[in-house]
Structure 1
């Protein structure tokens, strides 16, 4: 439960802080920053503290968590430094493109890099890992495209709702629909 709180807590905190400060403007050093930028500035250290606590708790961080943390610092930092929310909104697109591309490179090599990262969580036959990897790769590319459409065509508030609930729900629903694959390709306890 603590692990889940450390993973999802910063996202929910970002959402609540955004709702609270979205209509505010803050003057810092003679520059006006809207609520989104201030919330983004606060999100970065909160996220990093939670990642450090998660590392302390579990003894490791996945490559996905590390890459996500780096992109949050870089693109969140650019948003704050340049006072431009577009950089932070672009971050999910880049994360999903990066992970989708990495999985695609593994598939081109005939390997499931997803299996290397998640094998302990889901014991599947090799064929199941390859199918799941293809599906997740396509799913990540779809999420990248969807993020681009949402942030470029809708309001910041709509994007925040999408980022907080839409992306999380879509990942949850995606894995629910993989139940048949998990059942069909699950390794039996003896195997």
Structure 2
């Protein structure tokens, strides 16, 4: 449910950008994000995880800057910066020997410390590539290409990455997930 709710701001952005332009799209993205995060806040009993705080605060800063200064350059920087922060955070967790993917996926996979570091590094690389792709589409391509990529172009790339990850890691699925309960 959470993942589906998180797509609503993207849909609002896409529709507003298509019919009204980038500045109204920034407003739609900001308002939709605030509404969805209010719902998350209530459903999560008044708490956000760190990723949610990063996305919320950067959305407010970049959409707010875009609207206040009437310049879409701020909104164009939002996705490259968010993806860059995720990449650097994940890479940093590998460097300090506390791979964050272990915290996120320890119930799904049974990996060695080396395996967790490799998985976390792979996700860091994924987010770094996404940061570059968002930058290229935002600053080197047409507005339409940028809007399309920002709204839904990244989704197939992420799905391919996730499927590939599960294919590579399927032999490391936590045995507790595949055991049948006693009858």
1:12 deviation in Å?
Answer: 1.0
Q: Which residue in 2 is equivalent to 1:110?
A: 97
Mapped to 2, the partners of 1:109 and 1:93 lie a distance apart of 24
1:120 deviation in Å?
Answer: 5.9
Q: Which residue in 2 is equivalent to 1:17?
A: 16
| Distance change >3 Å, CA 42–CA 107, structure 1 → 2 | same
1:185 deviation in Å?
Answer: 2.1
CA contact (8 A) 1:11 1:164 kept: yes
1:121 deviation in Å?
Answer: 6.0
Give structure 1 stretches of 5+ with no counterpart. 22-34
Mapped to 1, the partners of 2:23 and 2:134 lie a distance apart of 19
TM-score computed with the length of structure 1 as normaliser: 0.84
Q: Which residue in 1 is equivalent to 2:117?
A: 130
Q: Which runs of 4+ in 1 moved over 3 A?
A: none
1:62 deviation in Å?
Answer: 2.5
Alignment of 1:126-165 (within 5 A): 126=112, 127-165=114-152
The structure whose residues are more often helix, as a share, is 2
Mapped to 2, the partners of 1:157 and 1:44 lie a distance apart of 20
> Which digits, 9 at most, give the CA deviation of each residue in 1:32-74, with x for residues without a partner?
xxx2112202321220110110222233432112101111100
Q: Which residue in 2 is equivalent to 1:49?
A: 35
CA contact (8 A) 2:16 2:24 kept: no
Question: Paired residues, what number?
Answer: 176
CA contact (8 A) 2:86 2:124 kept: yes
SS in 1 for 2:156: helix
SS in 1 for 2:176: coil
TM-score computed with the length of structure 2 as normaliser: 0.87
Mapped to 2, the partners of 1:112 and 1:133 lie a distance apart of 6
Q: Which residue in 2 is equivalent to 1:24?
A: none
SS in 2 for 1:189: helix
CA contact (8 A) 2:90 2:120 kept: yes
Q: Considering only aligned residues, what root-mean-square deviation do their CA atoms show, in Å?
A: 2.0
1:164 deviation in Å?
Answer: 1.0
CA contact (8 A) 2:137 2:146 kept: yes
